[in-house]
Amino acid sequence: MNRMIHDCVVRIVGDKIHTLVLIDGSIDPHAYEMVKGDEDKMVISQLIFCNGLGLEHSASLRRHLENNDKVINIGENLINNGAFSPLQEDGCYDPHIWTDISIWREGVREIADALIKKFPEWEDEFVRNRDTLLDEMYRLDLWAKKCLSSIPAENKYLVSGHNAFGYFTRRYLAAEEEIADNSWKKRCISPEGLSPEAQISIRDIMLVVDYIHKNNVQVIFPEDTLNQDALKKIAACLKKGHSVRLSKNPLYSDNVKQDYFNTFKHNVSIITEELGGTLFD
């Protein structure tokens, strides 16, 4: 499991169950290959939670996650349950569902259901903890919408390091009519695809440059674990008379700042302030 999942699991189980994180720190989950000791963690675990939707796509991880009865694939379960409308790029699912906290709340329900089924003796406590967490996430979602809706419409364009903020943009930066007719996608762009492993071409860079000119974008957002070279090249390619800068602080997409919940707050705060919105308490 990664930190986005782990931080929700520990809120539900408390001190009843020992938890382990496989993909932690600044490690890129898209490219993670199992290391010594990981297989032992898999073997001793009674439940294994994964994000799915292609996030854990390395051969070593797939070998242990596929056809494994202990694995709870959160993303695939949510799609099968009709919990959200998945995004796709070039025929691949966008795995970054945790950036939309209204979707991730449904993931918490999946996590709690699996834990209760596996450990029925602690059902009452798990249900209490789940409900507390769901309420907290509901209020966090409302706060995010309030802050980000305060950004002037002409500023609601998100240029990030890689294509990790599609769900975030659809939920928090798009107007209702844009969501309805699927035109919300005009609100975000990045030089890299769903995985930061992808190679960036000159065409990718020029598409972003044209987007910045067309929408009068003033600030672009680097990500904590990504090389900033592509965004610096984009800034350098801009014509005279259009200045663009990197945000003062990076966004977090595939890793966390302290924990998942603080990471979400951090991203909302940075985007709101940099794009001219009001950050509410």
Same-domain check for residues 193 and 66: no
Task: Report if residue 219 sits inside a domain.
Answer: yes
Q: Which of 139, 167, 197 is the last residue of a domain?
A: 139
Both 176 and 257 in a single domain?
yes
Domain boundary among the residues 139, 174, 202 is at: 139
* pLDDT value of position 58: 87
Do the domain assignments include residue 17? yes
- Across the chain, which has 281 residues, the per-10-residue mean pLDDT values are 95 96 82 88 95 92 92 98 96 97 99 99 98 99 99 97 96 98 97 78 90 94 81 77 88 92 98 98 91
Same domain, 98 and 72: yes
The pLDDT, as a whole number, for residue 197 is: 65
Question: pTM of whole model > 0.75?
Answer: yes
Residues 134 and 224 placed together within one structural domain of the fold: no
So what's the pLDDT on residue 200?
A: 84
Q: Are 251 and 269 in contact (CB under 8 A)?
A: no
Residue 86 lies in a domain: yes
81 plus 101 within the same structural domain: yes
Q: Are residues 38 and 125 in the same domain?
A: yes
Do 68 and 158 fall within a single domain? Answer: no
Within-domain flag for 281: no
Instruction: Give residue 1's pLDDT.
Output: 82
Domain endpoint, select from 79, 113, 139: 139
Contacts of 183 (CB under 8 A, 6+ apart): 177
CATH value at residue 220 = 3.40.50.1980
* Structural domain range at position 131: 3-139
Asked whether residue 112 falls in the same domain as residue 180, the answer is: no
- How many domains are there within the chain? 2
Q: Residue 235: inside a domain, yes or no? A: yes
Q: What is the pLDDT of residue 198?
A: 67
280 in a domain, yes or no?
A: no
Q: Is 145 inside a domain boundary?
A: no
DSSP the chain: -BHHHHHHHHHHHTTSS----SB-TT--TTT----TTHHHHHHH-S-EEE--TTSS-SHHHHHHHTT-TTEEEHHHHHHHTT-S---EETTEE---GGGSHHHHHHHHHHHHHHHHHH-GGGHHHHHHHHHHHHHHHHHHHHHHHHHHHTS-GGG--EEBSBS--HHHHHHHTS-HHHHHTTGGGGGEE-SB-SSTTSPPPHHHHHHHHHHHHHHT--EEB-BTTS-SHHHHHHHHHSPTT---EE-SS-B-SSS-BSBHHHHHHHHHHHHHHHTT-----
What is the number of other CB atoms lying within 10 angstroms of the CB of residue 44?
9
* Residue 166 within a domain: yes
- Clarify whether residues 121 and 59 are in a common domain: yes
- One domain for residues 11 and 133: yes
pLDDT at 267: 98
User: Whose CA is closest to 99, among 84, 113, 77?
Assistant: 84
110 and 155 housed in the same domain: no
Q: Are residues 80 and 134 in the same domain?
A: yes
